[in-house]
Copies of this chain bind each other. A is one copy, B any other.
Amino acid sequence: MSTPATPLLKDELDIVIPTIRNLDFLEMWRPFFQSYHLIIVQDGDPTKKIHVPDGFDYELYNRDDINRILGPKANCISFKDSACRCFGYMVSKKKYIYTIDDDCFVAKDPSGNDINALEQHIRNLLCPSTPYFFNTLYDPFRDGADFVRGYPFSLREGVPTAVSHGLWLNIPDYDAPTQLVKPLERNKRYVDTVLTIPKGTLFPMCGMNLAFDRELIGPAMYFGLMGDGQPIGRYDDMWAGWCTKVICDHLGLGVKTGLPYIYHSKASNPFTNLRKEYKGIFWQEEIIPFFQSAVIPKECTTVQQCYKELATQVKDKLAKIDPYFEKLSDAMVTWIDAWDELNPAETKLANGDAK
């Protein structure tokens, strides 16, 4: 298939950045980000002043803003954890979101050229996904590729792509035990591909370099309760990924992973990470089978309906692990209520058909 020219979607995409520090990293992204609108979600002390380089168009929300805008519902937004970024998804009014961590820089492709990560994400989101059958030459919609012999013709139209999950050169996204065991490992392999994660298969979604179609899947991109006052951290994006994938599968939407790469500059502290993660390391052994076997009833045809259904199932089936999951289930419902409050005019009909 031939790749269409990539529109830049300048009026249709917001870049969401969670941060606790000055955003000097934006200098390197200036050629690629400057014409987009930024939504900065300031974590931690709201009296701290975050410096944003000149010339960027942005709005910034700190904890006081979140509390003011959401009122009592603000308790669904994490504090002292980058999970707070999902507040930015909620206040955006754009069709697409790109979210990136502030320790991620522009990577180079094997020819030494700067990678325009955002452009590749847009390309991924605008091309269909193919979740029902695996194409051995990967993304059939890339230039120079296509569906191979034996790929059913009825499936070649594909389905709308809801999520584009990008990767990381240099510091890989490892858990604390792996960081501790392999402190020197760097990801140097540029794998020149994008692929659809098949229907029924879960994946570990990382929030460092992630784009999605907010209209198609936004309300499922809740990053959970992490950080301050919670028994767990570093599972915010994982939680969003499990919920999102199950809902995409149900609604007939696609999830892609692969290109683009960003350059992840600095490993976070493995000891701190271990403290945040260790309950998750136990819990995911039960959470993942839960999501693998979760069935959403046919009657759920919007992301909101699917998400509230998942919230009910979380309470029913995961609360036995820890009371935390009851709280999380309640927060999932609060999140949807807050989303709908801030986005009243939004159509609640997902574009994909339930499969």
Q: How many whole Å from A292's CB to the nearest CB in chain B? A: 8
Q: Is A203 interfacial (CB-CB < 8 Å)?
A: yes
Q: Which residues of B contact A198 (CB under 8 A)?
A: 197-198, 200-201
Prevailing SS type, chain A contact patch: loop
- Closest CB-CB distance, A164 to chain B, in whole Å? 12
Q: Does A175 contact B (CB under 8 A)?
A: yes
Which chain B residue lies CB-closest to A197? Answer: B134
Q: Are A150 and B204 touching (Cβ within 8 A)?
A: yes
Asked whether B154 lies within 8 Å of A285 as measured between CB atoms, the reply is: yes
Q: How far is the CA of A173 from the CA of B136 in the complex (A)?
A: 10
Per-position 1/0 for A137-157, Cβ under 8 A of B? 110001011111111111000
Tell me the nearest residue of chain B to A181, going by C-beta.
Answer: B146
**Binary contact track A54-66/B, C-beta < 8 Å → 1, others 0:** 0000000000000
In-complex Cβ contact of A137 among B133, B167, B237 (8 A):
B167
CB of B284 within 8 A of CB of A150, answer yes
- In the complex, A110 has a CB within 8 A of chain B: yes
Contact B182 A146 (CB under 8 A): yes
Closest-by-CB residue of B relative to A192 is: B191
Binding site for B on A (CB under 8 A): 110, 133-138, 142, 144-154, 165, 167, 172-175, 177-178, 182, 185-193, 197-206, 234-235, 237-238, 241, 257, 277, 281, 284-285, 288
Q: A199 to B177, alpha carbons, bound, how many Å?
A: 27
Known contacts: A200-B198, A202-B134, A288-B133. The answer to whether A175 contacts B150 by CB under 8 A is: yes
> Could you tell me the distance between the alpha carbons of A218 and B205 in the complex, rounded to whole angstroms?
36
Task: Find the B residue at minimum CB distance from A281.
Answer: B153
CA distance A40 to B152 in the complex (A): 32
Collect the chain B residues with CB atoms within 8 Å of residue A173's CB: 136, 148-149
Give the top 4 A-B pairs by smallest Cβ distance, nearest first.
Answer: A150-B204, A134-B203, A198-B201, A149-B175
- In the complex, what's the smallest C-beta–C-beta distance from A285 to chain B, in angstroms? 5
A110 to B189, CA, bound (A): 13
- A201 contact set on B, CB distance < 8 A: 133-134, 198-201
A110 surroundings in chain B (CB, below 8 A): 110
